[in-house]
Structure 1
Amino acid sequence: MAATTRAAFGSNATAAASSRILLKTPFDLKRGINALSFNDGRRLSERLFYCNAIYNPQVQIKREESSAKMEVATDELYTPIKQDTKKGKLRYYPYNINWNYGLLLQTWEDPSFANSEVEGAFGDNDPIDFVEIGDARGEIGEILKVKPLAALAMIDEGELDWKIVTMASLVNDVDDVEKHFPGTLIAIRNWFRDYKIPDEKPANKFGLGNEVASREYALKVITETNESWAKLVKRSIPAGELFARITTTRNIRGYAFKFKLHKK
């Protein structure tokens, strides 16, 4: 059985006495009301943002460490990071990923929304992904503090799967990346385009004219997917579309939630 790291799709992770990382959300249930409210009036995006234009992604795969396909299990309690499976078998990439890779907290790609700017592709029902290009190797479950630099609109079997390129320091936008790390953006695009080919599957496509989008566009994507996440957890998605079924459990740090996505 693959090792599991407790993680946080909906919020930052906090270390518990058992050394596992447990989910702690900024939400609590209103008594007698089937809705979510903020604890202490905190902003919905508090856990996504660190400060100003610094964001909190969570590492799922360490750079150059393993080819195991680690993902956050959004349908399990505490949303653990664990190795993905298909037809009962553990899944692997054909080669190691060359960067720290994971998810941006409190984001969600809405599968009911067709993005007119990206060939009308629908969201893939997951948080958006980040690729961190620094030299330091992150740990699985670690929360980083990074600056968004660029965005790639990957289309995987018809679903939109954003890749946000980030780094903690030194660079600020696409031009800086090309100056200090020439060829890196193309290498990232090619890696995600081609990783299915060894399994005799077609290459992934990219929208936006196959180009790398700017820092400003990346910030727009983060804002929009954070708003989608907010609608999900507040259950304000219109009837007939996806909704979140949320239950709360008490742990030593506060309330945790799990959710499953359903279609009516």
Structure 2
Amino acid sequence: MSGRRREAPGLFSFSAAVGAGIMASYGVEERGCPHSLEFRVFFKDDKGEYISPLHDIPMYADAHKDVFNMVVEVPRWTNAKMEIGTKDPLNPIKQDVKKGKLRYVANVFPYKGYIWNYGAIPQTWEDPDHRDENTGCCGDNDPVDVCEIGSKVCSRGEVIQVKVLGTLALIDEGETDWKVIAINIEDPDAASYKNIDDVRRLKPGYLEATVDWFRRYKVPDGKPENKFAFNGEFKDKNFALDVIKTTHEFWKALIYKKKEGGEMNCTNATLSDSPFHLNQAAAKAIVDALPDCGPANPIPADVDKWFYYEKQ
């Protein structure tokens, strides 16, 4: 069973079962005050050494069973738009910023914040120079996003193991932005889910709500509705697995400098043959340069408002 343990202010550790009796452990160290521009969540391995959640956590938890690691960026029902800092050294989780202000997703009726545990599959990269043959659009320069549909509300920074069920192809401002649908392997009902049709059968309305959420979530910011490839239809498990494996190959080209990544930060602590590898002294200096963890700032009052918007 997975667990979360607080070790000290701003320090947490997670453990998760992977396969038969195998445990993978990760910890997080928070810096700065939550809901501030300086807030960061750095990751540590089971030795307490700093790692990048994007580059150092393996993509697979169990390759033989197609079980993947997922880094939880946003717990279900919350609004803060947290994400892996792809441009920052060690890629800590931080809150997205637009025009100098922290970003929160609006509650577009009838939804409250994110309607799944939202995160990313490590060691994947949607190459912005690669035009996808299915969508006709290039990648969004981020790892592959995951919408985890299980019953547990996860914690920010938790690393869980998921079974992939399918994917949705969001076209976000002209870029391909895959949204993988998955379920935590520790969910009590995980064995009942084998493909995307099982979600439609066992959680009626959830897939339709997912499309609706992604279509409309930027409208309160004054942007138009998002569009989708495949007329907003979900692709099945095998299609999703191909997407993940392809983006993993893109990531490998990036991390071994066979492909230029622009502003993407590739510093890592475990890939000794990567030109971006750094030692723990350098990693610790990156973390120590930020302020210690402090009390959370208040969330702006308008974050709790419900936004009413008639579907187009």
TM-score bracket for this pair, using the shorter chain length: 0.7 to 0.9
Distance 1:234 1:228, change over 3 A: same
Distance 1:204 1:26, change over 3 A: closer
1:63 to 76, 79, 88: 76
Alpha carbons 2:54, 2:122 under 8 Å: kept: no
2:166 to 146, 150, 161: 150
| Aligned match of 2:99 | 87
Task: Give the SS at the match of 2:278.
Answer: strand
1:111 to 112, 115, 128: 128
Does 1:233 find its partner at 2:255? yes
Does 1:22 find its partner at 2:50? yes
Alpha carbons 1:153, 1:162 under 8 Å: kept: yes
Distance 1:138 1:26, change over 3 A: closer
| Aligned match of 2:236 | 214
Alpha-carbon distance, 1:62 to partner: 0.3
1:186 to 194, 202, 208: 208
Cα distance in 2 for partners of 1:47, 1:199 equals 35
Alpha-carbon distance, 1:70 to partner: 0.4
The amino acid across from 1:90 in the alignment is: L
Alpha carbons 1:196, 1:203 under 8 Å: kept: yes
Task: Give the SS at the match of 1:126.
Answer: coil
The amino acid across from 1:133 in the alignment is: I
Residues 40-82 of structure 1, C-alpha deviation per residue, up to 9 Å, x if partnerless? xxxx9x8101112110010000011x21110111111211101
Task: Give the SS at the match of 2:138.
Answer: strand
Give the aligned CA root-mean-square deviation in angstroms: 2.7
Alpha carbons 1:196, 1:202 under 8 Å: kept: yes
Cα distance in 1 for partners of 2:89, 2:225 equals 33
Alpha carbons 2:117, 2:153 under 8 Å: kept: yes
Cα distance in 2 for partners of 1:137, 1:179 equals 22
Alpha-carbon distance, 1:15 to partner: 5.6
Residue-pair matches, total: 227
Alpha carbons 2:52, 2:92 under 8 Å: kept: no
Does 1:4 find its partner at 2:56? no
Alpha-carbon distance, 1:209 to partner: 2.7
Residues 143-191 of structure 1, C-alpha deviation per residue, up to 9 Å, x if partnerless? 1111110100000100111100000213110111111111111111111
Identical pairs, percent: 38
